[in-house]
Structure 1
Amino acid sequence: MRGTTPERVAAALERNDPLPGTAGFAGRLDVESSALGDGPCLVRDVLGRQPIFFSEHDPSAWGFDPTELEDPRPLPAGHVQRLGADDAAESGSQRVWTLPNPPEFDDDETALDAVGDAVLGRVRAVDPADTAVAFSGGVDSALVAVGMPDAPCYVAGFEGSHDIEAARDAAEAMGRDLRVVKFAHDDLTRAVPEIVAATGRTNAMDVQIALPLYLVAERVAADGYERLAVGQGADELFGGYAKVANAPDDHRVDAETVRGATREMVATLPAQLERDALTLRAAGVEPVAPLLHDDVVAAALRLPGRLLTDGEERKIALRRTADGVLPDAVAAADKKAVQYGSLAARELDRLARRSGFKRRMDDHVGQYVRSLADR
């Protein structure tokens, strides 16, 4: 079992508790549980923070690395899957946890105190041994860095990219050691096939997001660090997207409220976290995501829309947590999505066009990615 003990997972099943105080878990559960019946099973937490896979052809085969299985299938978040079931009807996965939908906090002061306690408590609880910080200069990664004051911070991108410039400014303001991982086109063409092999994904967006993660993690591993602390989950949990701020008028969300749109974003986390965990592990480091701990998730789910975004400022509750903890400019800093802030998306598009995959072609970057993976 990764992420916690089998006994805690079994207890969470008995209590039907989707947020039992962990940072996510997955693995084989042999502890007897009346909720599951007899026999071992696979289990994955409600947000899918630890990916796990099984084989449809061999009911007893499973693993954390899909490359070790024939025809691997991810176990959905919040599900269990019986191992070794002879009956096909028993071999399918079943949902045992759903994300809770708690009421809003009674008042803003209580809400902000709860978020502050959860966020600062979890970032300060990270074991700094052999750990580096992925640092973009935004409030998410800066808060993670606060918990490890002596850990080196790494930023990755092409020279002149937004992320490198923002990270340099933030690191100077915070007095932090910043190590810059600069990309070249050869880095992208080398890394793309390795990312595809690790994740099984070839769509342009997934690969563009994974590229800077993979390349910075390679450097972190080469420098001797075993873990990389990341700010994953902050945008989804705390209202960091423009489409959330524009709800219900943005066609990209179905919800009628900011709070509902935020829940839609949280529901996208399992697929994202699977990609990112597999990418970072393939590069040689283990991800650490303190902003995705159950304590933080539980507090964020109770935020009213006005503490998520007011249409102009986003991640309001998270930024109020940063007040007095981070320099004002860092607490207020905006960030770009990693594929754009690092210029990985722009330069992968440029390489695709140079290789004959023109923008008039359908999914021209995806076609280029698949051509690199097939070499």
Structure 2
Amino acid sequence: MIHGADPALVERAIADREPLPGTRGFAGERSDERLVRDVLGRYPLFVERSGEGWAFSPTALDEPVSFPAGSVGDERVWTLPDPPVFETEREAVERVTAALEESLAIDPEGVAIAFSGGVDSAVVASRLDAPLYVVGFEGSHDLDAAREGARAMGRPLTEIECTHADIERAVPAVARATGRTNAMDVGIALSLFLVAERAVADGYDRLAVGQGADELFGGYEKVLRTDHRVDAETVRGATREVIASLPDQLERDVLAIRAAGAEPVAPLLDDRVVRSALRLDGPLLAAGGERKRAFRRAAREFVPREIAEREKKAVQYGSLIARELDRLARQAGFKRRMDDHVTRYVESLLQ
């Protein structure tokens, strides 16, 4: 059983050692009982630490271990290609635009959109006739940005105003589903879970997200500065380092959305978009204080310019969920002077 792609296509990709065969990821078991997972790990896959048994969810196993992205059985079959860079900015923007246009051709049936008002989710929303959802505490950056973005795009918006009761209720579900209790992972997963939960309650079973753009197109400050948080000395090298973190991040995001009863849809992680992103050099990724340069230029074909150029906070901060999670931990007696006080708080809710 393989999820995410036609098994015949996966078999051709294995035979040709083609890491980007034209899918949005896949994982599962082949007919010869060997496991397979795509190069970016877009579909979670787990095995028992003992080697006996596998599952798409860690909760189905006693001691789950992530199956390595890019692997077939015990062999690493795929690695990301290192193609030549685009010769001009014009060519780069045209190719990124074309890739986005193709990747956004999605059946909107049963789809809701996680919309934060930033360029990534706005590009996804631009070609999907589907409702927009945002979550955040009142006064949060994400609520304000989503309102402005939806207004600029002429789209209605469903606002999910978060409360402490929502956080306390959702934390155990998210932590169990993802197998993670640290503050950053829980904060990000909570945002996705709460949006997906509301969308499912409203009758939708798929959640479109803007995941992947920051990693693929140079959206991080550490990439722009190539600072101590990356080993690479170039922007392109730092971007590839960040892309390598996607399997771990996507595992968390997919499991959080599925825990709410929805299936994620991530058009910006389509192989066609990935191929175009891998051909960008430093200045087209991040330079002169601007991040995601080529992506933002391409985004002007899809969204108003003010949205294409808007900077946005990470979801756990923009929604104020990270702040309020910390506040709840301290109110429960887990003070900041304690090591990993939020993690301890999350673990206490699981008991």
Match of 1:13 in 2: 14
Deviations 1:210-255 (A, max 9, x none): 11111111001000001000000000001111111101xx111111
Kindly indicate whether residue 122 of structure 2 is the aligned counterpart of residue 142 of structure 1. yes
Contact 2:89/2:294 (8 A) holds in 1: no
Which runs of at least 4 in structure 1 moved beyond 4 Å after TM superposition? none
> C-alpha distance in 2, partners of 1:54/1:193?
23
Superposition map of 1:231-250 within 5 A: 231-247=210-226, 250=227
Q: Please identify, of 165-174 and 64-73, the stretch whose mean Cα deviation from structure 2 is larger.
A: 64-73
Structure 2: state its 5+ residue gaps: none
Kindly indicate whether residue 118 of structure 2 is the aligned counterpart of residue 114 of structure 1. no
Superposition map of 1:12-31 within 5 A: 12-30=13-31
Equivalent residue in structure 1 for 2:247, among 266, 270, 274? 270
> C-alpha distance in 1, partners of 2:288/2:349?
41
Kindly indicate whether residue 36 of structure 2 is the aligned counterpart of residue 43 of structure 1. yes
> C-alpha distance in 1, partners of 2:185/2:51?
29
Kindly indicate whether residue 297 of structure 2 is the aligned counterpart of residue 297 of structure 1. no
Superposition map of 1:121-200 within 5 A: 121-123=102-104, 125-148=105-128, 150-200=129-179
> C-alpha distance in 2, partners of 1:211/1:240?
22
Q: CA deviation at 1:56?
A: 3.3
Deviations 1:87-111 (A, max 9, x none): xxxxxx3211111111211222211
> C-alpha distance in 1, partners of 2:16/2:170?
44
Q: CA deviation at 1:348?
A: 0.4
Kindly indicate whether residue 77 of structure 2 is the aligned counterpart of residue 80 of structure 1. no
> C-alpha distance in 1, partners of 2:102/2:130?
17
Deviations 1:257-284 (A, max 9, x none): 1111111110010000000000000011
Count of matched residue positions in the alignment of Structure 1 and Structure 2: 350
3-state SS of 1:181 partner:
strand
Q: CA deviation at 1:195?
A: 0.8
Q: Which has the greater radius of gyration?
A: 1
> C-alpha distance in 2, partners of 1:63/1:367?
28
Q: TM-score, normalised by structure 1?
A: 0.92
Q: CA deviation at 1:57?
A: 3.4
Q: Please identify, of 154-163 and 318-327, the stretch whose mean Cα deviation from structure 2 is larger.
A: 318-327
Q: Look up the equivalent residue of 2:57 and give its one-letter code.
A: D
Q: Look up the equivalent residue of 2:43 and give its one-letter code.
A: Q
Q: Look up the equivalent residue of 1:78 and give its one-letter code.
A: G
> C-alpha distance in 2, partners of 1:202/1:234?
25
3-state SS of 1:97 partner:
coil
Contact 1:20/1:294 (8 A) holds in 2: yes
Match of 1:53 in 2: 46
Superposition map of 1:85-104 within 5 A: 93-104=74-85
Q: CA deviation at 1:68?
A: 1.5
Match of 1:4 in 2: 5
Q: CA deviation at 1:58?
A: 5.6
Kindly indicate whether residue 304 of structure 2 is the aligned counterpart of residue 327 of structure 1. yes
Equivalent residue in structure 2 for 1:217, among 190, 196, 202? 196
3-state SS of 2:28 partner:
strand
Q: Look up the equivalent residue of 2:264 and give its one-letter code.
A: P
> C-alpha distance in 2, partners of 1:2/1:289?
15
Superposition map of 1:295-374 within 5 A: 295-374=272-351
Contact 1:155/1:167 (8 A) holds in 2: yes
Match of 2:230 in 1: 253
Q: TM-score, normalised by structure 2?
A: 0.98
Q: Please identify, of 70-79 and 160-169, the stretch whose mean Cα deviation from structure 2 is larger.
A: 70-79
Q: CA deviation at 1:170?
A: 0.6
**CA RMSD of superposed structures (Å):** 1.0
Residue 359 to residue 56, structure 1, CA distance change in 2 (3 Å): closer
3-state SS of 2:291 partner:
coil
Percent identity, aligned pairs only, is 61
Deviations 1:306-348 (A, max 9, x none): 1111131111111111224311211111111000000000000
Equivalent residue in structure 2 for 1:69, among 53, 61, 76? 61
> C-alpha distance in 1, partners of 2:50/2:336?
40
Q: Look up the equivalent residue of 1:28 and give its one-letter code.
A: E
Q: Look up the equivalent residue of 1:184 and give its one-letter code.
A: T
Q: Look up the equivalent residue of 1:49 and give its one-letter code.
A: R
Contact 2:189/2:252 (8 A) holds in 1: yes
Contact 1:246/1:311 (8 A) holds in 2: no
> C-alpha distance in 1, partners of 2:223/2:150?
29
